[in-house]
Amino acid sequence: MKFTTLCYIEKDNKYLMMYRNKKKNDLNEGKWIGVGGKFEEKESPDECLIREVKEETGLTLTKYKLRCLVTFVSDKWETEHMYVYTATEFTGELKECNEGTLSWIDKDKILDLPTWEGDRLFLEKMQSQHEFFTMKVEYRGDKLVK
């Protein structure tokens, strides 16, 4: 089982999104996602979040909130527990990322982009409620089945 973080950084009613188009053998290739990644040994979710955001974007988060915990079950990949955050304040300058193209996307346009079907479910729920929640999604291949 793996543990990851994902962050939707907010600015001017937009989220910072990454179009995954640069990394070889990327299971997210061709999809738009937030920024984040895998936990390193002995990291807490917050420590992983801050490190991954800094590595991928050059930004240092100064105000962020854990919004949900999503469990991904798949017949192709190992089970994943993803800690999903939003962030509203940061310092630093945006840099180029070696995993994908970073872009500020209007929040109301996110669901028009090619994303994972499960991501659409938790994004919609995050936009409609402010309370913490958990969710489990199951895939067969790239297809959401539950």
pLDDT score of 26: 67
2-144 placed in CATH 3.40.50.300: no
Question: Alpha-carbon distance 79 to 3, whole Å?
Answer: 9
Nearest to 68 by CA among 110, 16, 120, 122: 122
pTM for the model stands at 0.91
Distance, CA of 131 to CA of 71 (rounded, Å):
18
Q: Please give the chain's pLDDT, 146 residues, in tens.
A: 999 999 999 999 999 999 988 877 766 777 899 999 999 999 999 999 999 999 999 999 999 999 999 999 998 889 999 999 999 999 999 999 988 999 999 999 998 998 888 888 999 999 888 899 999 999 888 787 88
Measured distance CA(53)–CA(61) in Å, rounded: 8
